[in-house]
Amino acid sequence: MNKNIVFLGLMILVLLGYIFNFDKLMSNSFIGATSDIRWSYSSSITIIKDTINSYFNQAQTLENFATQRDKNTHYKILYERAQNELNNLKQDMQIMDSNLSYGTIYAKAVSYINLNDFSKVILDKQLPAGKLYPLLTPQGFSAGIVRVYNNLTIGYLNTNEKSNYAVFIGDTNAPGITSGADENGYILIQHIPKWYGIKVNDEVVTSGMDEIFPYGVKVGRVVGTKDLLNTKMAIVKPYAFVTSKRYFYIITKTTNVNEM
């Protein structure tokens, strides 16, 4: 009897639950509670992600700043080195003609005229045509001459047979003309009068007699001589092997206004 009463009571409760939607109320309460939990979890994940992204963005920004700082430091060193080389060049040139003043242009070789000829290079500076310009290394040694042809500034390096300028050799100032180089890159000095004595280790400098180079720019030292029919030839080891160089100075010569 008691069992029947209990069973009947349970059935009544179930029916009342369906009638008054107790299951939906319980479901809504459960969903509401779980929604709060999901929202809190989602917010926590978002905060964590934002924190991680902010950290890595800051790290990348710092790395970019460090890279830019290193580049700026490198460029500063190159600039200071170029300025020091220019100052040393002006001090070492020993220009003797007081009626003339000389300016220098820092130039870069951008390409060869011909890929199979390393003795002629195109320089990145524009100059007036119709004259020859002396070409020097950043250390102040002779490198060749510069001609302007078809609006191109062309450097004829010491190894080129058309790189011709006047020089003095040794203590006797034996005159000669540069005429390219041999297979070792040694400069050949032609048209030296036979009566001049030349010996190994004599220093060769520009004479300034051709109105291309100023006097006193160092070229190299004699390592050998050769007697020709009416003249002598000197073989000179240059102070600078210029075919491996990319940066040069071009000397421009202007008349001193005070002397005109």
pLDDT at residue 94 is higher than 70: no
Helix (H) or strand (E) holding 133: strand 133-136
Average pLDDT, rounded, for the chain: 78
20, part of any domain: no
| In contact, 151 and 137? CB cutoff 8 Å | no
Please report the pLDDT score of residue 44 as a whole number.
63
pLDDT > 80? residue 250: yes
pLDDT tens, position by position, 196-212: 999 999 999 999 998 89
Are residues 46 and 139 both part of a single domain? no
Chosen domain end from 92, 124, 139: 92
Same domain for 52 and 78? yes
Quick one: 177 exposed, middle or buried, by C-beta within 10 A (0-12, 13-18, 19+)? middle
Residue 13 lies in a domain: no
Say how far apart CA 183 and CA 235 lie, in whole Å: 11
**pTM attached to this predicted model:** 0.60
pLDDT in tens, 188-247: 999 999 999 999 999 999 999 988 999 999 999 999 999 998 899 999 999 999 988 889
- Write down the residue that tokens 């300028």 correspond to: 165
Both 170 and 235 in a single domain? yes
Residues 65 and 108 in one domain: no
Out of 74, 92, 110, pick the residue that ends a domain. 92
Domain of residue 189 covers 166-240
Q: How far apart are CA 132 and CA 186, in angstroms?
A: 23
pLDDT digits (tens, 9 = 90+) for 33-69: 555 555 565 666 666 666 666 666 666 776 676 677 7
Vertex 31 angle, CA 27 and 34, to 5°: 140
The pLDDT of residue 67 is 77
What is the C-alpha separation between 226 and 61, in angstroms, rounded?
66
75 and 201 part of one domain: no
**141-164 pLDDT tens trace:** 999 999 998 889 999 999 999 999
CA distance linking residue 208 with residue 214, whole number of Å: 5
**Based on the domain organization, do 52 and 114 belong to the same domain?**
no
Beta pairing partners, 168 = 175, 205
Q: Based on the domain organization, do 116 and 129 belong to the same domain?
A: yes
156 and 250 both lie in a single domain: yes
Both 172 and 231 in a single domain? yes
Q: Structurally, how many domains does the chain consist of?
A: 3
Polymer length in residues for the chain = 260
What CATH number has the domain bearing residue 228?
A: 2.40.10.350
**CATH number of the domain that residue 125 is part of:** 2.40.10.340
Residue 209's CB is within 10 A of a number of other CB atoms, namely 14
Q: In this structure, what token pair is assigned to residue 76?
A: 């500063």
